[in-house]
Amino acid sequence: MPKAKESLRGLGQKYGGTLRKRYARVFRTLKQARECPACSSMKLSRTASGIWSCKSCGYTVAGGAYDLAQAKAR
């Protein structure tokens, strides 16, 4: 398990536990390595909200804001 401090980066003591946990989950999802659908490298990352692009081949694809797959309404 990662250190709490690392997974809750940027929030410190603020905003309360529930929100920080939610933020940590989104942050982990956002930063995890993803496979590029075009060249199969693990360089796919988010350029802007909903826009994902590959640093290796330049492939760009639309997706969800925090994950390549669009999240269902929570």
**Closest to 65 in 3D by CA, of 36, 26, 37, 28:** 26
Q: Which range of residues in 5-13, 22-30, 45-53, 57-65 is near Zn ion by CB under 5 A?
A: 57-65
Report the C-alpha gap between 35 and 57 in whole angstroms.
Answer: 12
- Which of 30, 39, 42, 71 touches Zn ion by CB under 5 A? 39
Asked if 23 is part of the footprint of Zn ion (rule: CB under 5 A), the reply reads no
Asked if 24 is part of the footprint of Zn ion (rule: CB under 5 A), the reply reads no
Question: Beta strand 60-62 with 44-48: parallel, antiparallel or unpaired?
Answer: unpaired
Binding site for Zn ion (CB under 5 A): 36, 38-39, 54, 56-57, 59
